[in-house]
Amino acid sequence: MQDQPIEPHTLSLLVENEPGVLARVIGLFSGRGYNIESLTVAEINPEEHISRITVVTSGTPMIIEQIKAQLDRLVPVHSVNDLTAEGPFVARELAMVKVVGKGEPRVEALRIADVFRARPVDSTSESFVFEITGSGEKVDAFIDLMRPLGMTDVARTGSLAIARGR
Amino acid sequence: MTEERMSGAALIIRALQDQGVDTIFGYPGGAVLPIYDEIFKQNQLRHILARQEGGAVHAAEGYARSTGKVGVVLVTSGPGATNAVTGLTDALMDSIPIICFTGQVPTHLIGNDAFQEADTTGITRPCTKHNYLIKSPDDVARVVHEAFMVATSGRPGPVVIDVPKDVQFAEGVYQPPSTVRHRSYNPQTEPSSGKIDEALDMLAAAKKPVFYVGGGVINAGPEASETLVKLVHTTGYPCTQTLMGLGAFPGSDPLSVGMLGMHGMYEANLAMHQSDLIVCVGARFDDRVTGRIDAFAPNAKKIHIDIDPSSINKNVHVDLPIIGDCGVVLTQLLDGWNAKGLKADGAAISAWWEQINGWRERKCLSYVQGKDIIKPQYALERLQAHMDKDPREGYITTEVGQHQMWAAQYLKFEKPNHWMTSGGLGTMGYGLPAAIGVQIAHPDALVVDVSGEASFLMNMQEMSSAAQYKTPIKVFILNNEWMGMVRQWQELLHGGRYAESYTESLPDFVKLAECFGWTGLRATTPDELDDVIAKMIATDGPVIADICIAKDENCFPMIPSGAAHCDMLLGPNDQANSSVSSGGMTLV
């Protein structure tokens, strides 16, 4: 049991959008010693006050099973889907990267952004804010390349995910 | 239909009345005065005043466990709410349905560090099944009805409703219970199809089976216990009970092998260890039950029947999980067994019983009672004998420690809902207020709190409540002047260095009883014991019986922490030869 492999899982929850619901979910992870690698929350159905929480966690299959069961018994949780277990899914992250500089580094930053299909969403004569979406690895790679070119700040979401097909 | 409008406080009382509540345990304070005012104005709901909020929750737990109904608590904001936290956690661990109303500072002051303000929903989030902060009087009735649904359905548990004082004053619309539907909460009670057939095949094929039953059977109601008895008798298989499951199956039944676990019966633990099929019904493979997990029942297939999916595969991997209400599943198993005309493997099962009876021969509960000093085991056997002779219905509550384990071992449990103990959380000070709650629910019963002198001191302010309501509870203190279980572990694990486990300056319990208007009795020698017990039971009001017992008696049998079921210590002689592994040292 102890020698089971630890694997990452992406869980997708539908919850009542009510005060304290996020604290319940996070508190469950910290209180029971589970990992949160990333967490993204937003209301997706304002009429019915339903939010989606996408959480990337890791653990042995037995722990993942526990996490799902524990989440599912929280009163405001409608459903828990384990995207990793249930089949192919698409996952994306969004980052905004601020790069400050002039001359050749500035041009190089713009060139790399183009390769990564990152868009400048703010520009001044001395700075850019690039918006990039993609897998976590792609966002990591972009940030690594921007760092020596005058990167001063990053804002980044956790993983968002949805099952492929119907 | 005309709308019924009333104040938030009146809405609470009205909703409680519609839920059939007749008793509230509580303690007033500034932030709940409007609710207390509404209680004052009516006669349907009886309020029982505790002497500290923790006592109110334990009393409600005793009430709930002994009736199967919801225990209702009302406390004020801030310290009222934080004092209730231990009781709420206790109810969560032992799956007891509790609704606890907490007052809160007015909405506009929340977050301002107002007088007696605490973040009650934040503090109680991890120690309740669910909690609410009501922001509008129009939500009051719906939330109360919803809270009853959440507290009682699925795996029961405590629910907190935090009510700001301005919401208690403001007017809102009443909604009857029938209007409540919950969108996201809908626990499964019926097992999935196919599981029952699979379980029946496993049951019929078993050669060394054992039923391992817990508090879930008791929570499923008395019918579930009756069905369990029928199923066990139909198969002829042995049945062991957890601490919380005592009474779910009659202890005197020849098919009962008694309690299992750390201080369980030798035959129960050995049967678990050697079994080829464990049928777990409403129990959760707790660490007190399994001992060393990688050596737990190595050859057994496991069926786990539980209403809570998160109990499945938590500690122990099971072969066949069945999610559902224990009563429903047991009925389907029994009906299926009969409909299919299944038969147990007669030869194998009689060989299995022969083996179990061999373990029984070891008489793991034997002890030696000398002439001079009262042994706790003897005191409890005498208590049981006297209770058996009394025509009243007997209920037992306990505190936590050695006396609790001895009570579990030496008393007899024949029916569900008659044994109230803090199993999961292990809360010292539980038994006295719980006994008051039991006695409030069953005024004519004989309610005994088997206590230790250290636990008793933790909530002894509740003696005043017992005096006020004339609850004739009997507190049976097994007084060894030590925090006995702490002392036992220090002897076993810490080289006999008894750090802080001796209680200096104990009160004179007889005088203590008298100053609260109770009766105080004391027994110091075995020949005084029967008289004291008889007098305790015959006395009308509340009684403390201070039973001065052997000071250094340890609780056996015992599976030392980190050891397996087959490595039990049966008595002082085994203890001398045992050594606890370094892994076991770090366990609790």
* Contact status of B329 with chain A (Cβ, < 8 Å): no
* Contact status of A8 with chain B (Cβ, < 8 Å): no
* Per-residue pLDDT tens digits for B524-539: 999 999 999 999 999 9
A105: in domain: yes
Same domain, A103 and A77: no
Decide if B509 is catalytic: no
Helix axes B140-152, B8-18, angle to 10 degrees: 40
Burial B186-225 (b: 16+ CB within 10 A, else e): ebebebeeebbeebbebbeebebbbbbbbbbbbbbbeebb
Same domain, A73 and A100: no
What is the ipTM score, two decimals?
0.91
The pLDDT of residue B272: 97
The string of DSSP codes covering B357-370 is HHHHTT-TT-----
Q: Which of B133, B154, B310 sits opposite A66 (nearest CB)?
A: B310
Higher-pLDDT residue of B562 and A84 is A84
Q: Are B403 and B31 in contact (CB under 8 A)?
A: no
Decide if B405 is catalytic: no
Decide if B53 is catalytic: yes
The pLDDT of residue B179: 74
Segment B6-10 shows an average pLDDT of: 98
A28: in domain: yes
Residue of A22, A49, A68, A75 to mutate, interface with B, max B Cβ within 10 Å:
A75
* pLDDT confidence band for A3 (50 / 70 / 90): confident
Interchain proximity A72–B187, CB inside 8 Å: no
* Contact status of B317 with chain A (Cβ, < 8 Å): yes
Interchain proximity B309–A69, CB inside 8 Å: yes
The pLDDT of residue A81: 97
The pLDDT of residue B180: 78
Interchain proximity B187–A75, CB inside 8 Å: no
Same domain, A108 and A47: no
Same domain, A27 and A74: yes
Q: Which of B122, B131, B313 sits opposite A65 (nearest CB)?
A: B313
Chain A CB contacts of B314 below 8 Å: 66
Same domain, A16 and A81: yes
Same domain, A134 and A152: yes
Interchain proximity A75–B308, CB inside 8 Å: no
Share of chain B above pLDDT 90, in %: 91
**What CATH number should be reported for the domain holding residue A19?**
3.30.70.260
Residue with tokens 């508190």: A27
Domain of A113? Answer: 90-163
Q: Which of A27, A62, A70 sits opposite B310 (nearest CB)?
A: A70
Interchain proximity B129–A15, CB inside 8 Å: no
Residue ending a domain, choose from A56, A86, A116? A86
A58: in domain: yes
Q: Which of A23, A27, A73 sits opposite B309 (nearest CB)?
A: A73
The pLDDT of residue A55: 97
Handedness of CA A106, A110, A111, A112 (dihedral sign): positive
Shortest alpha-carbon distance between residue A71 and chain B (Å): 9
**What CATH number should be reported for the domain holding residue A151?**
3.30.70.1150
Widest CA span of chain A, in angstroms? 59
Handedness of CA B457, B458, B464, B466 (dihedral sign): negative
Nearest residue of B to residue A19 by CA position?
B133
Decide if B40 is catalytic: no
Out of A107-121, B27-41, B172-186, B250-264, which region has the weakest mean confidence (pLDDT)?
A: B172-186
* pLDDT confidence band for B418 (50 / 70 / 90): very high
The pLDDT of residue B183: 86
Which residues does B346 contact at the CB level (< 8 Å), separation at least 6? none
* Per-residue pLDDT tens digits for A5-30: 999 999 999 999 999 999 999 999 99
Shortest alpha-carbon distance between residue A57 and chain B (Å): 17
pTM beyond cutoff 0.90: yes
Choice among B17, B44, B115, B198 that is catalytic? B115
Residue ending a domain, choose from A52, A86, A120? A86
Out of B69-78, B99-108, B399-408, B559-568, which region has the weakest mean confidence (pLDDT)?
A: B559-568
Shortest alpha-carbon distance between residue B314 and chain A (Å): 6
Same domain, A65 and A110: no
Same domain, A153 and A94: yes
The pLDDT of residue B176: 93
Same domain, A108 and A155: yes
A2: in domain: no
Domains: count for chain A: 2
The two beta strands, B301-306 and A7-16, are: unpaired
A22: in domain: yes
Same domain, A130 and A149: yes
The string of DSSP codes covering B35-84 is HHHHHHT-SSSEEEE-SSHHHHHHHHHHHHHHHSS-EEEEE-STHHHHHH
* Per-residue pLDDT tens digits for B285-308: 999 999 889 999 999 999 999 999
A17: in domain: yes
CA distances to A16, A55, A87, A140, A150 from A41, in Å: 12, 9, 22, 21, 31
DSSP, collapsed to helix, strand or coil, labels residue A89 as strand
Q: Is the pLDDT of residue A50 over 90?
A: yes
Chain B CB contacts of A82 below 8 Å: none
* pLDDT confidence band for B181 (50 / 70 / 90): confident
Shortest alpha-carbon distance between residue B309 and chain A (Å): 6
Interchain proximity B183–A78, CB inside 8 Å: yes
Same domain, A96 and A155: yes
The pLDDT of residue B571: 85
* Per-residue pLDDT tens digits for B495-530: 999 999 999 999 999 999 999 999 999 999 999 999
* Contact status of A33 with chain B (Cβ, < 8 Å): no
Residue of B129, B142, B184 to mutate, interface with A, max A Cβ within 10 Å:
B184
* Per-residue pLDDT tens digits for A110-127: 999 999 999 999 999 999
The pLDDT of residue B579: 66
* Per-residue pLDDT tens digits for B30-75: 999 999 999 999 999 999 999 999 999 999 999 999 999 999 999 9
* pLDDT confidence band for B1 (50 / 70 / 90): low
* pLDDT confidence band for B178 (50 / 70 / 90): confident
Choice among B6, B25, B38, B53 that is catalytic? B53
Same domain, A20 and A80: yes
A134: in domain: yes
Residue ending a domain, choose from A18, A51, A86? A86
Decide if B420 is catalytic: no
Q: Which of A2, A23, A72 sits opposite B125 (nearest CB)?
A: A23
Interchain proximity B126–A70, CB inside 8 Å: no
Interchain proximity A65–B317, CB inside 8 Å: no
* Per-residue pLDDT tens digits for B552-584: 999 999 998 888 888 889 888 787 666 677 777
DSSP, collapsed to helix, strand or coil, labels residue B452 as strand
The string of DSSP codes covering B266-295 is HHHHHHHHH-SEEEEES----HHHHSSGGG
- As a whole number, the mean pLDDT across chain A is 96
- As a whole number, the mean pLDDT across chain B is 96
Shortest alpha-carbon distance between residue A161 and chain B (Å): 22
Chain A CB contacts of B126 below 8 Å: 27, 31
A100: in domain: yes
Nearest residue of A to residue B156 by CA position?
A73
Task: Say whether the peptide bond before residue B209 is cis (omega within 30 degrees of 0).
Answer: no
The pLDDT of residue A2: 57
- C-alpha closest to that of B93 among B465, B534, B426, B436: B426
Handedness of CA A51, A56, A57, A62 (dihedral sign): positive
Q: Is the pLDDT of residue B20 over 80?
A: yes
The pLDDT of residue B191: 93
Chain B CB contacts of A73 below 8 Å: 154-155, 187, 308-310
Chain B CB contacts of A72 below 8 Å: 309-310
Residue B481, CB half-sphere, CA atoms under 13 Å: how many? 12
Residue with tokens 């030696």: B368
Q: What is the dihedral of CA A70, A74, A78, A80, to 10 degrees?
A: -20
Interchain proximity A23–B122, CB inside 8 Å: yes
